[in-house]
Structure 1
């Protein structure tokens, strides 16, 4: 065929493609169809034989694919779905089959709807495993008893099917112990740990061999001889002990050199092969262990002296410029005699950059902290030392605030018997660094009877007065004043609440102090007053309210105690009305008194509860708040005070009115006719009083005309005349005919 004649010009081909593209749906491209027509294993061998735990064998699957009129074959092994009929016999993964256990299984491969199968037979590489002792070659039985201390070592051999030979597979095999706390195994080497049972398993190429191993104790007990406390005095030579092991048959064996020895405190006693060496004073437990058995004995190292002390024994604070510090050490012998051992003791410093020590002489080399230790025949004592650098000046660690006069001198206040820490002082070094030098300050008091300097950096107040305390460090000094006063227990004033009038000046309350010793004193002029509000001005023993305020607090301070007074500031009352005035009441009857005050602006206020009323004669009447109660017949007066003014109200206690009686009780009249009537009051005292001139009356209608003491008929009919007096009433009936 002439290809050139069949070929289209490239432009014509481009037009054809364009036309086809226009006819096809957007986004779709046509391909020739491919289809799988079958699958097969690459190898026809069946069954396939594999070894248990041997190398894997691959099965490959070939698919026949039809592409139009063309067929081709393709390896689809990695696309196939693989399964095994018994994965405990044969496993399969991506076509790789492996023997797991002896037997046969069918491998299935599925792809594109096609399924093929192949039989796989798994067999053992060896017939069996045999375990023998490495040293003697004897076969190890399935059950074996051994004793702690033994070191079993086994080898494993794999026998082939023809028994033509065997292979030593000890290194390749897998070894395991079911109870590693009893015995462990590593490539045939058995490590016995404690009494008990375990199972040793060896596996190789699908075969296994198990040995039930029982571990026993070779000895019933260990015994250290002698079994009493091993005693030493510091400096003694070593002592030996022996350990005897008792076997189950009762026989004994000296295992001193074979056993493992340990000491609970090697700083007290060391031990090796039963030899105990004393090191230091103390107690240690010596333990011996051998083949699962242990025993202990106590070793004690006693000091050759009772006790030891170092002088001085308190922490030392010294300036570097001091150069040296001398220490001494003493021991108390067993016969209670005292001996200085400063020269014989072993002296050490924990910080040789700061200090060194030799025979009790501590030499200062630099600023820092160190611990000086003295040791002598098993005893030791320590003392701490702090070395401070040289300083150029000292100052208070806390700045002193100027007082109201601008004085910046430090001042302290104390009470008798108080103990207080001395203030902290800091020094400035040559390099400008600030250092706390409080512990090296030397304090003095110009009057120890008032304030005494204690040894522990404190000051104690003994008597009242003022003293000067001086602090000195390396020629630098600071001083302070300390004032000692008595300690107050309580402050007392007779005014718990105050009511002030705006712009009116009054004196501060009188205040009495009660000291802890029971003594009292007027300290009004010494109390420092402070108001909780700027609306109250306090100055020079006086106070003045500036703006009306419903409630504020006046606080007073004296010595170590305080008091508070509630204060009310209000406008001036220009007039005050009391109702009733006077007050009339009866025995055991209460009468309320209302007090109304008026301000300059015309507003009023109820002051009934603020008058603080007092009764002049409480046998006649009593007053509580704004309520007056009669006690006995008679007259008295009550007195109240408000805003500095005094008010008096008469109080009269009268008999109690029991009833009224009208006479006559009924009257008959004709029109125009008149008749007289009167009313009598009957009291609880039995007194009868004509009160006609004081009563009020009200007729029920106009049939009669009523005037005080008389009644006149007007028209025919009946009328009731109600007559009242003192809270009681009575009725006179009239009829006109």
Structure 2
């Protein structure tokens, strides 16, 4: 190791005094004849260290990383923290500065060799060679330096080919790959040499036999393709074993030395290549069958303790004939933990699902197998189902209880039966209601059974309550209204005992067909039967002590209406208007009708209107009289002599259309009693003059004139 030093006493930037610096390098790198360090292009870097002496220590420290380094000519030599790298041929001065001190050293950059030369067979290689594929090409590289013997640096050099599709090179040995031109380059320590290769094929074509298409059926023996090369001179040569064979789809067919092995149905291209010539043939791999089917064909469920399931496989040949291939097919299970399969016999092993596949000569088909745990009891999540004719739904869920206490859904593996198939049938996992009635539907599995009742009803259209309003006395029970269902066919049925009731608030409760009021309010009661509903308004209130109607009697004409006001008096003394809340009935439906609290007369007659509320009733007499339309006198005018008399007739015309003689019932008056008098229609003439006679009946008046001469 050589050291160049400079020492003094100068304070450094740190809290110590630098007393000197020195350069340290390997003596091997120093050329005494040129008094310089030597670095070589594309060779290892030369390392120079900078050591600093300080006043605080007797040991010099390496400050290479902290010093400032410079090169007088970076085109020749570069320096980085004491690492010298040769860039170009020449000389540069390297300086290192630290703590106010600077050290310099001369560095010479050069090539290891003056030149390198590619050799062939020990002689300098030509600039270019024409070569044929298949011929061996070996080159070496010699390092040349003035004043020294040439050195073989073949294995040390870097060899490259400008076109790897034409040729590759490794340590001077060239492998010809394809037709074309490439440049081989050998490079070492900044020097390089090249040689051009023009590569041609010794053959002009390659033919395959068969020529364009090879068809193979799955299951057939391997087929061989022959490769025949034609030389540039016209002679032929079989090169099947020498050629390189490739397939465009190894999933369809593989090839080795011309031997084609079918793998799966499909199409691929087989290519043979030999010394620059190639040829391709289409290969089609077919199946000898049209299709394959399994029996059972759809997904299958089985218990863990079930015996094995035998699946059969059949194929249809291209000719149309069927063949059982159960034992010839290849059988696989996608999950061997769940089930195994041998020659189509599936053996359950654990709970789960697996896919069983049968394959033969390029075709395959699969079936999903689900294995359920063994169960000790079956339960159905519904005890009964209400439905209507022509309705269909999915069968209810069936659960199985296992030995370990777990529950498994076994709906897919139970066998369903119907006690009366006239009422309902089962198909494809659904029940269908066919006729009105009741029947029992049973699920069975390995001797275990569970049932539910299927009730097929006439299709309901509407629910009709016997009343739409109720008065419920606080603290007392009241029977709920009866409910009638009107069915689609027009029939009616009392379903009071089958309907379910619900109150809209907790101010009333429904128990055992009765409603009990708890607190004064308006509550809606909803009755439900077969998904149909109807509502009743319930007024929860105090007990009514007395009912008073106004008017107390009704006198009407046919077609005339009149409202009745009813006042109820609670036991507390409070009163309430109940007119429209009353339950009204008329003694004769032909006499009158009642809507709300309004009575409308229909025909002449008499009867009574009865109203009830909270069990208390009142009666209002109804009299319907015909309505007077007009009065008609038998004479419009008379001429009488004094002392003469004449009897008039008075006719009442009613809206009913039947006239009535009311002569004796009317009130008769004369405006001049001195001329004539009248009584019950009889006129007596007294003296000359004229008088007006009037008859009045039921609010209507008619008059006539009497002249006495």
Which TM bucket (shorter chain)? Answer: 0.5 to 0.7
Task: Indicate the larger mover: 80-89 or 169-178.
Answer: 169-178
Q: 2: CA distance between counterparts of 1:604 and 1:214?
A: 126
After superposition, the Cα gap between the structure-2 partners of 1:121 and 1:495, relative to the gap in structure 1 and judged at 3 Å, is farther
Which of 428, 431, 450 is the aligned partner of 1:459?
A: 431
Is 1:468 the equivalent of 2:440?
yes
Q: 1: CA distance between counterparts of 2:59 and 2:300?
A: 100
Distance apart, 1:517 and its partner CA: 7.2
After superposition, the Cα gap between the structure-2 partners of 1:262 and 1:506, relative to the gap in structure 1 and judged at 3 Å, is same
Q: 2: CA distance between counterparts of 1:284 and 1:495?
A: 81
Contact residue 495 and residue 565 of structure 1 kept, 8 A: no
Q: The residue matched to 1:478 in structure 2 has which SS? A: strand
After superposition, the Cα gap between the structure-2 partners of 1:204 and 1:446, relative to the gap in structure 1 and judged at 3 Å, is same
How many residue pairs get aligned? The number is 549
Task: Indicate the larger mover: 483-492 or 596-605.
Answer: 596-605
Aligned counterparts, 1:294-443, within 5 A: 295-303=280-288, 306-315=290-299, 317=301, 330-333=314-317, 335-338=319-322, 345-346=328-329, 348=331, 350=333, 357=342, 362=345, 394-396=376-378, 410-416=383-389, 417-426=391-400, 428=402, 438=411, 440-443=413-416
After superposition, the Cα gap between the structure-2 partners of 1:114 and 1:482, relative to the gap in structure 1 and judged at 3 Å, is same
Residues 439-461 of structure 1, C-alpha deviations (whole Å, 9 max, x = no match): 5544433212223343x454333
In structure 1, stretches of 5+ residues that fail to align are 1-32, 401-409, 576-595, 612-640, 647-737
Is 1:51 the equivalent of 2:40?
yes
Aligned counterparts, 1:107-186, within 5 A: 107-132=94-119, 139=125, 141=127, 154-162=139-147, 164-175=148-159, 186=170
Q: 2: CA distance between counterparts of 1:57 and 1:65?
A: 26
Q: The residue matched to 2:420 in structure 1 has which SS? A: coil
Q: Show the counterpart of 2:707.
A: none
Q: The residue matched to 1:534 in structure 2 has which SS? A: coil
Q: TM-score when scaled to structure 2?
A: 0.58
Q: 1: CA distance between counterparts of 2:142 and 2:194?
A: 14
Contact residue 96 and residue 104 of structure 2 kept, 8 A: yes
After superposition, the Cα gap between the structure-2 partners of 1:531 and 1:132, relative to the gap in structure 1 and judged at 3 Å, is farther
Which of 247, 261, 264 is the aligned partner of 2:246?
A: 261
Distance apart, 1:205 and its partner CA: 2.0
After superposition, the Cα gap between the structure-2 partners of 1:117 and 1:533, relative to the gap in structure 1 and judged at 3 Å, is same
Give the structure with the higher percent strand.
2
Contact residue 338 and residue 354 of structure 2 kept, 8 A: no
After superposition, the Cα gap between the structure-2 partners of 1:553 and 1:138, relative to the gap in structure 1 and judged at 3 Å, is farther
Distance apart, 1:203 and its partner CA: 3.5
Is 1:480 the equivalent of 2:451?
yes
Distance apart, 1:297 and its partner CA: 0.2
Q: The residue matched to 1:449 in structure 2 has which SS? A: coil
Q: 2: CA distance between counterparts of 1:245 and 1:597?
A: 123
Is 1:285 the equivalent of 2:268?
yes
Distance apart, 1:121 and its partner CA: 1.8
Residues 29-88 of structure 1, C-alpha deviations (whole Å, 9 max, x = no match): xxxx98557666689974444333445555566778789xxx999676646422223344
Aligned-residue Cα RMSD (Å) equals: 6.1
Distance apart, 1:312 and its partner CA: 4.0
Q: Show the counterpart of 1:207.
A: 191
Contact residue 176 and residue 201 of structure 1 kept, 8 A: yes
Q: 2: CA distance between counterparts of 1:276 and 1:144?
A: 39
Residues 559-592 of structure 1, C-alpha deviations (whole Å, 9 max, x = no match): 2x354759686767999xxxxxxxxxxxxxxxxx
Give the structure with the higher percent helix.
1
Q: 1: CA distance between counterparts of 2:133 and 2:231?
A: 12
Q: 2: CA distance between counterparts of 1:34 and 1:379?
A: 89
